[in-house]
């Protein structure tokens, strides 16, 4: 992927008409535990208006969804629900852009901290999160089903600082998700 291709990727708010294209990527990246259409509909139902508690973004180029990310907020704590990039966009910095977008949203929601779960075997994503200042705080045994894979729980305090100064250019994330 060239820098030009990276620049052609636009981030924007995820809307209901994006769900089918997001599901295609979701099923490709997470075949064992892909979210259902209903799960995305439910999340987007809480993403608009004055009482919004969710923020969902898609990354798009040439009419193709090449990434997406979502954040849920409860009592000033953000929770990364999902973040993923198409395999052909790994290593382009798209994962960092999506994470920056979520942390900017967490700041707008006045979150004190942001949490996430990531597969213990997804070291690529863990490195990205560490570059943004996330720290491991625990393990959730058997969190990812049906594979019975453990999740590493990570936390970032002060998301406004991390969104403004990530040291993760050129890094991309395969995906992390929470079925929260």
Evaluate whether 25 touches 86 at the Cβ level (below 8 Å).
Answer: yes
Which spans in the chain are helix H?
Answer: 3-7, 19-29, 37-44, 94-108, 123-131, 159-164
- pLDDT of 32 reads 84
The boundaries of the domain holding residue 137 are: 3-177
Evaluate whether 159 touches 78 at the Cβ level (below 8 Å).
Answer: yes
Catalytic residue among 117, 130, 135, 143: 117
CA 18-19-23 angle, to 5 degrees, is 120
Give the three-state DSSP class for 49: coil
Residue 117 annotated in active site: yes
Bridge partner residues of 82 (DSSP): 70, 177
DSSP secondary structure letter of residue 75: T
- pLDDT of 141 reads 96
Evaluate whether 68 touches 57 at the Cβ level (below 8 Å).
Answer: yes
Catalytic residue among 26, 43, 56, 129: 129
Residue 129 annotated in active site: yes
- pLDDT of 117 reads 95
- pLDDT of 1 reads 39
Question: How far is residue 22's CA from residue 2's CA, in Å, rounded to a whole number?
Answer: 23
Ranges in the chain, pLDDT < 70: 1-7, 160-180
Q: What is the CATH number of the domain that holds 66?
A: 3.40.630.30
The total number of structural domains in the chain stands at 1
Bridge partner residues of 152 (DSSP): 118, 139
Question: How far is residue 1's CA from residue 75's CA, in Å, rounded to a whole number?
Answer: 39
- pLDDT of 163 reads 58
């Amino acid at each position: 992927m060239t820098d030009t291709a990276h620049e052609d990727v636009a981030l924007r708010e995820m809307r209901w008409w994006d769900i089918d294209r997001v599901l295609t990527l979701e099923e490709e990246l997470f075949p064992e535990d892909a979210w259902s259409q209903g799960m995305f509909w439910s999340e987007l139902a809480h993403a608009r208006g004055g009482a919004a508690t969710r923020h969902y973004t898609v990354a798009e180029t040439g009419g193709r969804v090449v990434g997406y990310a979502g954040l849920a907020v409860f009592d000033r704590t953000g929770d990364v629900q999902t973040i993923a990039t198409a395999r052909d966009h790994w290593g382009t910095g798209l994962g960092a852009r999506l994470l920056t977008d979520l942390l900017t949203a967490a700041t707008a929601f006045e979150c004190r901290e942001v949490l996430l779960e990531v597969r213990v075997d997804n070291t690529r994503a863990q490195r990205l999160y560490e570059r943004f200042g996330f720290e491991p705080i625990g393990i959730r045994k058997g969190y990812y089903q049906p594979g019975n894979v453990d999740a590493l729980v990570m936390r970032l305090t002060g998301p406004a600082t991390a969104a403004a100064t990530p040291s993760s250019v050129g890094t991309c994330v395969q995906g992390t998700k929470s079925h929260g």
